[in-house]
Amino acid sequence: MKGASVEIHGDSFLRKLYDFFNKHWLVSALIASMSGAWFSIVKFIKPPFIVDAADNLTLLGHWVTWPVFGVSVFFIVMKSYGDRRNELLKTSGYVVSSTLLQCVNSVTKYKLDRFYEFIRQNYSNQEALPFKEITQPKKQIRSILEYIQVALSEIFGIDRDDITLCVLYKDSENADWAFLERINVSSSLGVRELTTNRRSTFYRLMHSEGGSVFYPSKVDAINRSEYLPSPKDSVYNNIGSVFVCDISMKNDSGKDDVFSAVLCVSTFGKQLCDEKDDDAITKIKTKIIPVFESRIRLEMALLFIKEGLLSRCTECFPKSE
């Protein structure tokens, strides 16, 4: 997967060569017309030492003509392939954008429809409505995870059953980590092992300065002792990708967490991208997942208000449940 800029998969030299010819259009035009111009010179001008008296190419003529022909053909094929790849990538970029937009709109509509239904059922109610009954962040977070699953499945061609997602959460420094929501996550790996084992990607995230950790190749992560494989991984020979990001909320100082939360995404049987594809890695980390990340953060904040702050105050809000 690439961006809007022209890229060719394969050797970096070819990519640079293609970019050079795209930038210098006059050089491209000269090389493309070089073969035709040379054959015209040979046919009509018949330069000495290139063409003999019988109008046949001399040895020197062969040594000059065929390389000129080869360079011209190579250039035309490379340019045509690059142009075709560019068109496909633009189409792919459009599909990615359309899929993300559709999924994000669906997530928003899910919440909007529920709020509308709540209003229809309660608009004539003269009593104060408890905030806890209005917002349902856990249901919303599960819906968001389901749409992340849909987006990754459609964009990367991975079966939805082979994409697992979960949100791990704890609401205080002394609390234990727990699954808030999870989809297709194996029960064979417990939360404690995921959060304390030094070989887990979660552990790597919690002990790094970055906000996310992405391994396009689980095999590579396992070799670096930074991914803890599950029994399902062994079924797929550890082929897949893993992405985790910190969605915690910091206090005013920015040092400590008001609440801690981590989003985990894992694929099986197919990688999201090649481990050397820097452009694709950047897009996944900064374009695709973050589209949904802010919505999860919003629901996490509502969850903390609902189950944390409101439980401390019995006078500020109407009592419920």
Residue 203 domain-assigned (yes or no): yes
d(CA 90, CA 84): 10
Q: Percent of the chain scored above 90 by pLDDT?
A: 23
> Could you give the number of structural domains in the chain?
2
**Assigned domain for 120 exists:** no
Q: How confident is the model at residue 215 (pLDDT cuts 50, 70, 90)?
A: very high
Do 291 and 194 share a structural domain? yes
- 205 shares a domain with 146: yes
Query: pLDDT of 121-150, one tens digit each?
Result: 665 665 655 666 667 888 889 989 998 898
276-304 pLDDT per residue, tens: 888 888 888 888 888 888 888 888 888 88
In a domain, 196, yes or no: yes
Nearest 10 degrees: CA dihedral of 22, 24, 27, 33?
Answer: 40
Residues 134 and 233: beta-carbon distance below 8 Å: no
Provide CB contacts within 8 A for 86, sequence distance 6+. Answer: 6, 7
Alpha-carbon span 233 to 132, nearest angstrom: 40
Residue 99's pLDDT band (boundaries 50, 70, 90)?
A: low
Residue 3 lies inside a defined structural domain of this protein: no
Q: Are residues 190 and 259 in the same domain?
A: yes
User: For residue 119, is it within any domain?
Assistant: no
What is the span of the domain harbouring residue 244? 127-312
- Rounded to two decimals, the pTM is 0.63
Q: Is residue 111 part of a domain?
A: no
CATH number of the domain within which 162 lies? 3.30.450.40
Q: Which of 264, 259, 237 is nearest to 306 (CA)?
A: 259
